[in-house]
Amino acid sequence: MALDSTRDVSLSRLAMKAELLDAETERQLAYAWRDQRDEAALHRLITAYMRLAISMAAKFKRYGAPMNDLIQEAGLGLMKAADKFDPDRGVRFSTYAVWWIKASIQDHVMRNWSMVRTGSTSSQKSLFFNMRRVQARLEREAAAQGVSLDRHQLHQMISTEIGVPLADVEMMEGRLSGSDFSLNATQSTEDEGREWIDALEDEGTQAAEHVEHSHDTEQLREWLLTAMAALNERERFIIRERKLRDTPRTLESLGEELKLSKERVRQLEAAAFTKMRKTLEAESAEVQHFL
């Protein structure tokens, strides 16, 4: 069934005209789809319960999503339910499908509630769809008892009532109370007001940082050349192969080339580093910061 159809006759009206399945017919259709992948049986099963999907979709209109989108998501949930339904369990398909339909609609609503995702964990989903209702009830009960609740007390009570961490309640409160604003909106009502996007910090490298980095790189290069000059040819070769190559060579491979044991190469490498350190320390105490 095409869920995004633009035919003159609405999908809702077509769904209301669909057949009502008795338990036995429903079970036979479910068997035909599960065991034989009979698409005609699947289509008949889904069509019969589209009225249920549409009815559930209507309950989420208050979240601002277009009804056509809600119906489409409800239909997707219905199809998932049909694909996973096991008629051997003895449960009516409508009872099983309710969970899948609701989950599909809720995921869609949460994905589109804000440009900034509200989150999709079970805790966040429970808060998103229940927090305002629970909060209103708690406030009514407190008012009836003549009790005044501050924000922290209310959040703690919501946390206990819904069974989620207090931090999640506070986070969701902030997200539900906020609104999305365009970064191209002006910061003031003046015609020449600066846009909010102009106030964002540029995360790229600034000119001063670039110059400082270039200077440090050049200084390190000079120190390296000075330190390497204090080594003999074999030591320079080991340091280049072990530390200055994109893919450093192993002690074993160097040992084979130099006709030395792996342990001897390691000793020569350590001795070379000691020479380099002493040379640099003699040049400048500032080098200590970089070693």
What does the pLDDT look like over 216-238, one tens digit per residue? 667 677 777 888 888 898 998 99
Structural domain contains residue 24: yes
* 231 SS3 class: coil
* 86 shares a domain with 35: yes
* 173 shares a domain with 105: no
Q: Tell me which amino acid residue 198 is.
A: D
* 95 shares a domain with 133: no
- Percent of the chain clearing pLDDT 90 (strictly above): 11
pLDDT tier, 192 (very low <50, low <70, confident <90, very high otherwise): low
* 157 shares a domain with 136: yes
Structural domain contains residue 142: yes
What does the pLDDT look like over 32-87, one tens digit per residue? 999 998 999 999 999 899 888 888 888 888 777 788 888 888 989 999 999 999 99
Mean pLDDT over each residue of the chain, to the nearest integer: 76
pLDDT tier, 31 (very low <50, low <70, confident <90, very high otherwise): very high
* 108 shares a domain with 133: no
* 186 SS3 class: strand
Choice between 244 and 96, residue whose per-residue pLDDT is larger:
96
Q: Provide mean pLDDT across the span 130-153.
A: 82
Q: Provide mean pLDDT across the span 265-288.
A: 77
Q: Provide mean pLDDT across the span 132-144.
A: 83
Q: Provide mean pLDDT across the span 267-286.
A: 79
* 132 shares a domain with 99: no
Q: Provide mean pLDDT across the span 239-256.
A: 86
Choice between 108 and 241, residue whose per-residue pLDDT is larger:
241
* 107 shares a domain with 21: yes
pLDDT at 259 > cutoff 70: yes
Q: Provide mean pLDDT across the span 258-285.
A: 83
Q: What is the CATH number of the domain that holds 234?
A: 1.10.10.10
- Domain around 63: 11-112
Quote the pLDDT of residue 28: 93
* 229 shares a domain with 146: no
Quote the pLDDT of residue 32: 93
Structural domain contains residue 184: no
Structural domain contains residue 21: yes
pLDDT at 1 > cutoff 80: no
Q: How far apart are CA 250 and CA 285, in angstroms?
A: 32
Q: What is the CATH number of the domain that holds 101?
A: 1.20.120.1810
pLDDT at 188 > cutoff 90: no
Structural domain contains residue 38: yes
Is the backbone of residue 163 left (phi > 0), alpha (psi -120 to 50) or beta?
Answer: left
pLDDT tier, 115 (very low <50, low <70, confident <90, very high otherwise): very low
The count of domains in the chain is: 3
Residue found under tokens 């589209």: 50
* 127 shares a domain with 81: no
Structural domain contains residue 281: yes
- Percent of the chain clearing pLDDT 70 (strictly above): 69
Q: How far apart are CA 217 and CA 170, in angstroms?
A: 47
